[in-house]
Amino acid sequence: MRELLATAEQRGWQAEVFWVTRDWSSIQFRLGQPVAALGEINDYCMVRVIREGKLGMACGTHPSPELVQAAGAAAARGGEAGFSFAQPAPHPELAAPHPELRSLTAEDLVPLGSRIVREITGAHQDIPLLVSLERTVERIRIAASSGLEREATLGRVQISFGAPFPGAGSGLYKTVSYPGPPEFPKELVEEFNEWYSWGREVAAPPSGRLPVLLAPEAAFLLTMPLAAGLSGEAIWQRTSPLLDKKGERILSEALTIWDDPLRPGDPYGRAFDDEGTPCRRRPLVEAGHLRGYLYDLRTAALVGENPTGNGFKRALFGGGPWASPVPWPARVVIQPGELPWRELLSLERGLLLYGGMGFHSSNYLQGHFSVQGLGFYIEDGRPVGRLSGTMVAGNIYQELAQPLKLGSELRELPGAVAPFILIPALQVAGRRG
């Protein structure tokens, strides 16, 4: 990597090299049988060059002088950079991945996958069950002309399982991740078996405003619009509904939301972002009050702020080593409440949502969401059937500014660490009349 930086410096260019090696293996079960064992080791490299104040980028499978040349050629026709690459600075230290993680194979995961299959098919015969177990180890290296050098190894095992409901286009799926060799997810399997039995029948709620209990898997209805509103890009463009509202109450006082990638044992922890800026634990929303925005190097320079360690190669529905960094939360953590989720379920009438289809079509940049609800209709504190064709809509800065109740149980998901959240009322379009 230093050779590539030297090549750029000889031409009077600033350069940054991002290089990740991804070691991945998985085993999949369909209809109770292991059907696909996959594995790959790939390298991805992106070089960014600032040439006479203009930014250019090039991607490849490994660091090479040709990438520097290609990025320099792109910079000759590129837009103004407006920023410099990250400077050397101390960053937090995270524990290395579990030593057994690197040697864990797809074959090693078969007994655990088989046990999950047995536990679920024992409760639901003829279920079209899909089970996937994936091990990922990533080595990230970042170097820049500024003298910056970063390196970290990340690792996790992710377990996903679920099935469509009979005669439906939707289904129920659960996910859990571990920072080392995985355990049998007993509570999650039991929850799946119970919830899947709730979905054997269809129930149509009445139209109107109803209480809605968001399962942790549905927390994206809150976190995605919030991330868009906190983005330094939206702040710079002055399109964010949160512009100039730092210190003001924007959500329910029951909500405290952290950006915390430094939690011990978090399978998605990060010590620095994809530009090499140190990450840190900081509140985004504290007791409903806005505390801070998300800046990468570019947007921080545009608005005259310091980068916050939130430059990640991610997007709402994608991203990857080949993508440009954008402002994005490192790790969203919603502070839990004090009530068990089953107590929150004690509704006379309402919905339990674990997901929603069509979110991407919502004006989420302004806090809006409108989705076809995935979940169950509740009557007298009991789920009476799954939703079908039921629309749920609202705006997080209005609906989640109401007094909320939060569950005491936290669930670690790829997108966030979240509890159950009870919203007093959302607009529901269910059966007519």
Beta partners for residue 311, in sequence order: 327
Tokens found for residue 429: 């379009």
CB-facing half-sphere around the CA of 208: CA atoms within 13 A: 8
Q: How confident is the model at residue 169 (pLDDT cuts 50, 70, 90)?
A: confident
Structural domains in the chain plus CATH codes: 2-195 (3.30.2290.10), 202-433 (no CATH)
- Give how far Cα 93 sits from Cα of 137, 261, 268, 331, Å: 18, 11, 14, 16
Tokens found for residue 146: 């500024």
At 22 the pLDDT is 96
Closest CA to 91 of 305, 261, 230: 261
Burial class (CB in 10 A: 0-12, 13-18, 19+), 123: middle
| Rounded distance between C-alpha atoms, residue 271 and residue 280, angstroms | 8
| Residue 373 near residue 356 (C-beta atoms within 8 A) | yes
Q: How confident is the model at residue 13 (pLDDT cuts 50, 70, 90)?
A: very high
User: 136: how many CB neighbours lie within 10 A of its CB?
Assistant: 18
| Residue 133 near residue 112 (C-beta atoms within 8 A) | yes
pLDDT digits (tens, 9 = 90+) for 273-326: 999 999 999 999 999 999 999 999 999 999 999 999 999 998 777 788 889 999
pLDDT digits (tens, 9 = 90+) for 311-338: 999 877 778 888 999 999 999 999 999 9
- The amino acid that residue 334 corresponds to is I
Report whether pLDDT(433) > 50: no
What's the mean per-residue pLDDT of the chain?
A: 95
- Give how far Cα 261 sits from Cα of 15, 101, 329, 345, Å: 27, 20, 9, 30
Average pLDDT over residues 392-411: 96
User: 237: how many CB neighbours lie within 10 A of its CB?
Assistant: 12
| Rounded distance between C-alpha atoms, residue 210 and residue 328, angstroms | 32
Percent with pLDDT over 70 in the chain: 99
Residue 285 φ then ψ, to 5°: -135, 130
Beta partners for residue 237, in sequence order: none
Calculate the CA 178 to chain-centre distance. Answer: 15
- Give how far Cα 380 sits from Cα of 155, 415, 421, 428, Å: 44, 32, 19, 18
Q: Is 236 left (phi over 0), alpha (psi -120 to 50) or beta?
A: alpha
pLDDT digits (tens, 9 = 90+) for 16-62: 999 999 999 999 999 889 998 999 999 999 999 999 999 999 999 98
pLDDT digits (tens, 9 = 90+) for 359-389: 877 888 999 999 999 999 999 999 999 999 9
> At 106, is the secondary structure helix, strand, or coil?
helix
Average pLDDT over residues 238-256: 98
Report whether pLDDT(261) > 60: yes
Residue 299 φ then ψ, to 5°: -70, -30
